[in-house]
Amino acid sequence: MKKIFVLLLFVLTISVIHAKDWLFFVYMAADNGLYQYALDDINKLEKGIQSNMEIIVFIDHLTGSEKEGAEVIKIVKDSTDNIVSPRVKYYGNVNSGDYHTLNDFMKWGQSHYSGKNEIMIIWSHGTGWFRGETKHICPDNSYSSAISVARGELRKAFQGLRRKFDLLLFDACLMGNLETLVEVKEFCNYSMASINEMPAIGLPWTDILNQWNLFDNKEDRYNSIIDKYLESHDYGGSQNPYGDYYNSIALFLADMRNLESLLQDFKSFADYYALRASDEVFANAREQCITFNDMQADIEVKQYFQLLKESAIEGDTLWVFADRIINSLDRVFVKVNSLNLAIEGYASIWYPIYEDVFYELYVNLYHNLEINKTRFCRFINYSFGKDTIAPLAPRIIKKAQTFNSLHLEWAIPIDPCNLSYQIEVFVDGVFKEFANVTETVFSFTFDHFVSHGKIVVRAVDEVGNISEPVFAEYNKQTNNKFSAYVSPNPIKYDYDAEIHWVSDKELANLDIFLYNISGDLLAKKTLNNIYAGEHYITLKQLLNNNKKISTGLYTLILKTGEFSTIIKVAIIR
């Protein structure tokens, strides 16, 4: 056993010693119109790889091409125009537009290779969080599928990995939005993406890797990717030597460790200004912003808040909010650059100008995104003026009847605004009680003589729009040999509270105990020779009329020779 342990330790030590300084994983979902460009990029990687690098590439070949199916290759140095890197794993016919495939590749890669710095590159088509008719991220034409951001699939792709990536790079169009960054913020220290389209010819990997080791600082290496990208596409650059192309491009490097602070600033702004979002100052700033993506509904965050700051008086509240967010943006986006664009190239955010588009996409997709926790969509909702759209009806997810008590729980309806709930209680068809609650739970104890009851729940938004009702019915249980309840419950006044019990036979004795939340006995009462039927005593009688109990939760226990009933009681004063 000792020899085995020493051998294992030796193997692990050798593995660490020979771990490369830089480990690149590249996921090429290329079973689409970008296939030839994927092959070109693999060739660029072969020409540029350095001795302190390991580059592992997953490529899903185009259906109908010479090499069908997906494989993993390990990049080796080669200066020819042919791909010579050997296959290290064969996947066969798989769906590269399925997040499970991406997850499997990353898990497999981290279990077989290690590096002092790990970089993950997702290479394919992209449209950010929103899926148009044909694209999302990593579309696979053979399966007519793509990895969804708004449905949480991209986030799921990173679950269960052994290690956090130092850099996550999206070599795909339009992935530089806050929505996507927030989805992957837990899985990388840095992220790189573009707010705009990326030319199919992509990143100049040979140039990037050839000068990689000229920099001592990790962040400088990452920044050099941006510089080389823009240089290569500029007039006279390595990928545009004759100026045949005029591309409007951008790329940023985001320090994800500072992202949470930015999101908190965003939330504070949205909470403070939501009800004023239709004011002219916000509408004017939005109108002046350059727009991106399929619906032209994404704007650069920096430009929007810079316009707000310029329109405000220095030192006033709006100026302070805008200035704070701009400073937070600069702490997150440590390198930003663009070419042939009127904006710097910071991340974008969804900010549509049409109410029907906003509401439909919010309800169907956007509410799933982690960025929704900033409540910025509440701000957008009010940018259209007065909210006239009623919330969706609550959906009851739990209904339980315990003797005479009906307990309900419902899911929060999808809505960009804050919600509360109207509760109506009906007894044998007659209105009994009304309540407004903010929680998503409600309980009501019906009197024993009630045969049928109904609890109606409606969602109400903060401007008074009311949803369609949902309801749950109560029916008296008649098959209980012994049951008990407290009415009302919760208890607001001692003299209102009655402890009821029903028995189908005579009881020799009944013990009633009252405990506080700490388990201390506060009161006990024993009743003897009780005939069959319904009976009650008041809470004051149990407390002997001279004790006072404070607000809190209590436990009431009723015990007979055969049965024991526990009732949770709340005192509200």
| DSSP labels, 235-248 | TTBTTBTT------
What is the dihedral angle through the alpha carbons of 379, 381, 382, 388, rounded to the nearest 10 degrees? -150
In whole angstroms, what is the distance from residue 167 CA to residue 177 CA? 16
What element of type H or E holds 250?
strand 249-255
The pLDDT of residue 11: 43
In the chain, which segments carry CATH 3.40.50.11970? 1-126+135-171
Match 């009743």 to its residue by tokens.
Answer: 527
Place of tokens 């920096």: 302
Which pTM was predicted? Answer: 0.81
Decide which of 3.40.50.11970, 3.40.1130.10, 3.80.30.20, 1.10.390.10 is the CATH code for 1-126+135-171.
3.40.50.11970
pLDDT of residue 478: 66
Residue showing tokens 């997040």:
99
Helix (H) / strand (E) element for 146: namely strand 145-147
Q: Residues of the chain whose pLDDT is less than 50?
A: 2-17
Phi, psi of 260 (to 5 degrees): -60, -40
How crowded is residue 505: how many other Cβ atoms within 10 Å of its Cβ?
12
- 318 vs 316: CA distance, rounded Å: 6
The reported pLDDT for the residue numbered 461 is 96
In the chain, list all ranges with CATH 2.60.40.10: 395-475
pLDDT of residue 404: 76
Q: What is the C-alpha separation between 146 and 97, in angstroms, rounded?
A: 4
Q: What is the DSSP letter of 279?
A: S
pLDDT score of 195: 96
474/407 Cα distance (integer angstroms): 10
For 395-475, CATH gives 2.60.40.10
**Helix (H) / strand (E) containing 251:** strand 249-255
Alpha-carbon Rg for the chain in angstroms: 32
pLDDT tens by residue, 159-213: 999 999 999 999 999 999 999 999 999 999 999 999 999 999 999 999 999 999 9
Cα 21–chain centre separation: 33
- Alpha-helical segments (H) within 217-354: 218-233, 259-273, 280-288, 301-311, 317-332
Contact of 88 with 73, CB cutoff 8 Å: yes
pLDDT digits (tens, 9 = 90+) for 360-408: 999 999 999 999 999 999 999 999 999 999 999 999 999 988 767 899 9
Question: What are residue 527's DSSP bridge partners?
Answer: 510
| Topology (CATH level 3) of domain 482-571 | Immunoglobulin-like (2.60.40)
Q: What residue ranges of the chain are covered by domains with CATH 2.60.40.3080? A: 482-571
